[in-house]
Structure 1
Amino acid sequence: MIFGLALGSWTLAKVESYIGVVSYHRPHAGYRTECRNTAGVWVGRSSLLTHFRSVKNSRLTRVDGRSARVVAGSEGYELALLDVDAVQNNWFTVSDVLPSAGARLTASAAVRGSGLQTKFGTSLLGIYNKGGRYRFDATAPEYLDPEEQFGIVVDEGNRLAGIVCAFDEGDDDIPPTLEIVPSTLIKAFLDQCRAGTSIGPASLPFKLQAATNRSMRKYLNVDEISEGSLVIGRDEPETEEVLLSIAEHKVNADGSLSGRDFEKALVFPDYLASCLSPGDSIAVTMRRDGNTYEQKVQLEPWVARGWYGNQLPSESPWPDFEVVAGLVFTDLSAEYLNEFGESWRLVAPTALMALTGSEQSFAAVVLSEVLPDESTVGYLGIRHSVLDTVNETKVSSLAELRRSLQVVPDSFTTFRLLNGLQIVMDTNSLDSSTRRVLKAYNL
């Protein structure tokens, strides 16, 4: 598999010396990954460049009439890096076949547009579906996290082979998370979307995790890497099992895979995500109580569980709302998520889906809408954000929000969102602004 980050406004000369091997964390999945023998590009902060080894066997060439640098990876990969917009707003057809190990990819193109700018200088784009034909849309969806960046990988036929995303974890000591989403999964996802729908890249990494990835983690109940082996537990938590191999690949002490085609491949279970599909059967070898067992596991599509079933009961088919000036708040509930349609697990904003993955009961208030009004000037584009505090008072329900608004000691009311953004409004004009918005929008 080939990793490449969108280069944004960085020049080839700048990126050239940073080509190498990247090690990265995936905190939301609970494990660390090292991508070795894989050509990659890193354009992050200088404090993270220690995670690279130089790749010297690169050469200059031209791709689609543009200057590019080709990196020959140790497994025979060729990756062409472009510092230009190669496919923006071009319609394309998603490839039905994901390039296999050793396949030759000739272009990894940065996708840039006039959308939201990240700290890396890369614009975030959406994907637009029109009757089975897809296009990168230069208008970023409003709910995108500005700390994300997004790139694509195309094969030599200029077909989409995968999407690469990076997430900044906000810690100088932790490299951003990298995700590569294979084209087969992208196609399956886009096929579920009605023509005319726009999909933001923020929804891609989590919604398009391979079904193989999810089903294997569920089956094996992967907990942690401990004492040099990947320790797993299935139905009997008191009994430890050690995973020895999967699909003819030996599991190394750090949880990575080796053997067959690779000296060292992607850490389990990402290898499955890139090479297998639901319905495939793989051999898993494990050691349990001193004995070695081999079992065939058939991979099944992963379906999100109804996490809110008993946690967020409701007596009404419609969510309750609180309008404050042009801000519309609601409880994070089953009813609210259902407003995204039957496929809410795929299309709801990533920040909300991250909360729904919690194993514990929780409550949260969502800024579901920002209505255009003089009170909300400068605050558009932050809908679907989670509310954290009001005037430094923690808020986790509409009832708490209403109580906090009744006692406002300051001249300004400050709404702090979970992503760190703040909305500051004049306390004395809140009531009049709310009445104006309710009347204007017939609420």
Structure 2
Amino acid sequence: MNSLELGDIPFLQEAVAVVGYPQGGDNISVTKGVVSRVEPTQYAHGATQLMAIQIDAAINPGNSGGPAIMGDKVAGVAFQNLSGAENIGYIIPVPVIKRFISGVEESGKYSGFCSLGISCQATENIQIRECFGMRPEMTGVLVSRINPLSDAYKILKKDDILLEFDGVPIANDGTVPFRNRERITFDHLVSMKKPEETAVIKVLRDGKEHELNVTLRPLQPLVPVHQFDKLPSYYIFAGFVFIPLTQPYLHEFGEDWYNTSPRRLCERALRELPKKAGQQLVILSQVLMDDINVGYERLAELQVKKVNGVEVENLKHLCSIVENCTEENLRIDLDDERMIVLKFQNARLATSRILKRHRIPSAMSNDLVDDQASKETDEVGQGLLESPMSPSVSAGSSLA
């Protein structure tokens, strides 16, 4: 077979043909349309904001993954449409495709697209520009929030004015020049950078201009937006099912999940930023009924804050605290000032009974099983190194 070459980003009003096998028949389908917009768009499948090309050719289920051809070259890959609108489809442009392929070739896996880790506000109002000391010839955007896990958190400050990115001036509405007289948001420049690459940014801080170097890398949200190729994590103790909060969990509340899912969890999923690496919002998703947890069944869908006074960092941390409990009582503090108190030994015995009743093979997901096993192996190895003649580990002992 002869392969097709990747072309350039088509200009507005240029014709493209979308090839694929959409619903409605078995033979190959070719639909034709023109380019109507080129701008960063929310990718529904990947949940990232990247450049996309809007075309008026019909893109239906089954078209995704098919090429959009302009002349004898590929202009992009069809991937989504706008629901509720007529003939508004989107294709992934060649720069994004090339950036994805080069990233996979270099690291052997998909690493994601870079982010500066900041939220910005437009400065189109003259009063806000004057308030922050911007001269009439200056343009830029106001830094309103910074992700604590980003490199920018150590370099930028809230209320900085971002003037330039890699020497490209940023307009008051957050756009930068793009081809002829078109403009595009400066997020596009950020997303085209490679992980661990450095960018030079110019900021206005307290009336003075500064040139700063920021390292860019892909950033993960506090609440994962999708869980592709990954089994869900869970931990069950005394009938309480603990899971990390994810957006797919909220989507289980139906198409109108934004309004029907628990309000607090939804707000945190969409707005909260992680404070440190590996952090998760752990929630009590449901209660498997048993005598041990009578009266606690209404506490489902609440976030777990502390276990025995220790703040919970993630599901592995919660699992570790519970499994290594040495106190008589186990206290679990939940959101909304609710709490659970259990007799630890009784609860441990009840766990196996509940798992058997519900035919659940394991009290924890495989990722937690592997983590617990490696931790126990490390602890045993450390003990052997510290006291090789210890009577607790004799020649006839076997390690579980």
Query: What's the TM-score, normalizing by structure 2?
Result: 0.38
Higher helix share: 2
The structure having more radius of gyration, on CA atoms, is 2
